[in-house]
Amino acid sequence: MTASLSAPTQRAAWLEQWLSQLPAASGALAAVQQRGRAALAQQGVPSSRSEDWRFTDLSLLQALPLAAAQPAQPTLAAGGSVLRLQLDGQSDPLAGVTLPAGLELLSEAELAQGLGHTLAATGCQQHWPVELNQASATQVLALRVKSRASAALELVSASAGGMLPLRILLVLEEKAQLDLSQLIEARAAGLVSLVIEAHLARSAQLRHGLVAFGQNDAALFSHIAVEQEPESQAALSNVAAGWGLARHEPRLVQVQGQAHSFLRGLQLVGGQQIADTHSFVQFSGPEGELDQVHKAVAAGQGRSVFNGAVRVPREAQQTNAAQLSRNLLLSDRARIDTKPELEIVADDVKCAHGATVSSLQTDELFYLQSRGIGAEQAAGLLKRAFCEEVLRALPEPARQWCPLDQLELESA
């Protein structure tokens, strides 16, 4: 029987052993890694006694092989006109690659200055999943989108086991635009850790779509921190399915208000899987906007967790924020936990939130079956329709990575 991570001594011993096996980073990441390892050694592994981890059982981690990742080829057809980079945490994704016009690498000095800046601005620099990534990442993809340029990029990663840390730093200059489609696949027991920092200058636009397919003995931690200057637009969408444990944390701060944040999330769980989304949006100036919809499909004994925090201080007058959590329960043994956290001090605002939990409607199933559609196919069509609002928000390449049969398989 695998020992539980609930005992502090067991957690400390497991983490110490893992830290001793990690490869060392160089350059700007060396100091980041050193700080991350020191922080992890001090923090240990979160337990359910922590409010942020109350619903999330981390015992799966102790059974994972946390050696360096074994890279694999993503199961994708050849790309189209959009540049596709493969991130495996080991080889240089830009070797032999010519970046398209408007995209360029950050210098080592810019990298040293920029790493951690947006994490600190969004209040998550010391969060455990972030420290985990900082303690393990030996590479970072650091890109700038030049002023008024428009670029598109695909990032793909696949792991055949072990620990795969992915670190990305993005700087979008004034009026720059970036469409970023990202695919993560886990095909064996292991852990994938993703940290993205993005700074959006005035009127910049970022559209990021993350599609992550795992399996029962794999875990995913994804952390996306975005700093928005006025008139910028950040659209973040993610789909996660099949992971034994998945934790997704989008965190955005509108530094002077007058920006637009768009969040769409979909998590599918079955068996005894756990998917946990903790989002955070901070309005630090007036006239900011938020449009957030989070959806979950839970079958078997799966558990879905959503915690959506929105902060509207006094200086954020005329904020317009809407948050909705919609959940589809396919089993009486599955569980949905949804918790909006709206902290509003400003008095001239429009802020709304809502949460629903429902099952497949018998009248809709009956209608489809009366048209000659089989019961199983009818249920699949209704589930796909439920997911469609989030899938439509993905950039076009990422939408192609979410076929109906894949979603059906991963949520079974």
β-pair type (303-312, 141-145): unpaired
**Amino acid letter at 298?**
A
Q: Given 3-state DSSP classes, what are the helix, strand and coil percentages for the chain, each rounded to the nearest 5?
A: 25, 40, 35
Q: How confident is the model over 168-196, as a mean pLDDT? A: 96
Residue 224: CB atoms within 10 A of its CB come to 26
CA-to-CA distance for 336 and 329, rounded, in angstroms? 8
| Total-model pTM | 0.93
Confidence of residue 359 (pLDDT cuts 50, 70, 90): confident
pLDDT of res. 368? 79
Give the tens place of pLDDT for each residue, 332-345. Answer: 999 999 998 999 99
Tell whether the model's pLDDT for residue 213 goes beyond 90. Answer: yes
Q: How confident is the model over 231-249, as a mean pLDDT? A: 97
Structure tokens at 192: 């994938």
CA-to-CA distance for 318 and 254, rounded, in angstroms? 14
Coil, helix or strand at residue 286? coil
Give the tens place of pLDDT for each residue, 114-132. Answer: 999 999 999 998 899 999 9
The residue with tokens 């006109």 is: 81
Q: Is 96 exposed, middle or buried (0-12, 13-18, 19+ CB in 10 A)?
A: exposed
pLDDT of res. 239? 97
DSSP-derived secondary structure for 4-36: PTTSHHHHHHHHHHHHHTPPPP-THHHHHHHHH
Confidence of residue 371 (pLDDT cuts 50, 70, 90): confident
Coil, helix or strand at residue 37? helix
Q: Give the torsion through C-alpha atoms of 255, 257, 261, 267, to 10 deg.
A: 60
Tell whether the model's pLDDT for residue 402 goes beyond 50. Answer: yes
More confident residue, 372 or 83: 83
Q: How confident is the model over 85-114, as a mean pLDDT? A: 93
pLDDT of res. 408? 58
The neighbouring-strand residues paired with 85 are: 155
CA-to-CA distance for 230 and 232, rounded, in angstroms? 5
The dihedrals phi and psi of 111, each to the nearest 5 degrees, come to: -65, -45
pLDDT of res. 63? 80
The neighbouring-strand residues paired with 295 are: 266, 326
Is residue 398 within 8 A of residue 181, CB to CB? The reply is yes
The continuous run of DSSP H or E covering 266 comes out as: strand 260-269
Give the tens place of pLDDT for each residue, 25-38. Answer: 888 899 999 999 99
Confidence of residue 309 (pLDDT cuts 50, 70, 90): very high
Q: How confident is the model over 215-220, as a mean pLDDT? A: 94
Considering only CA atoms, which of 268, 318, 321, 336 is closest in space to residue 291?
A: 321
Structure tokens at 303: 């558990």
- What number of CA atoms fall less than 13 Å from residue 354's CA on the CB side? 8
The residue with tokens 């199983």 is: 376
pLDDT of res. 3? 43
Every domain of the chain and the residues it spans: 24-94+101-410
More confident residue, 251 or 56: 251
Coil, helix or strand at residue 85? strand
pLDDT of res. 406? 58
Tell whether the model's pLDDT for residue 365 goes beyond 90. Answer: no
Mean pLDDT (the chain, rounded): 90
Is residue 138 within 8 A of residue 166, CB to CB? The reply is no
pLDDT of res. 2? 43
Give whole-number Cα distances, 320 to 122, 254, 283, 316, 344, in Å: 20, 13, 10, 10, 12
Q: How confident is the model over 199-218, as a mean pLDDT? A: 97
Tell whether the model's pLDDT for residue 323 goes beyond 90. Answer: yes
CA-to-CA distance for 283 and 281, rounded, in angstroms? 7
Is the dihedral angle over the CA atoms 207, 412, 275, 182 positive or is it negative?
Answer: negative
Tell whether the model's pLDDT for residue 79 goes beyond 70. Answer: no
pLDDT of res. 125? 86
Q: Which has the minimum average pLDDT: 26-30, 318-322, 353-357, 372-376?
A: 372-376
Confidence of residue 48 (pLDDT cuts 50, 70, 90): confident
Q: Which has the minimum average pLDDT: 197-211, 347-361, 391-405?
A: 391-405
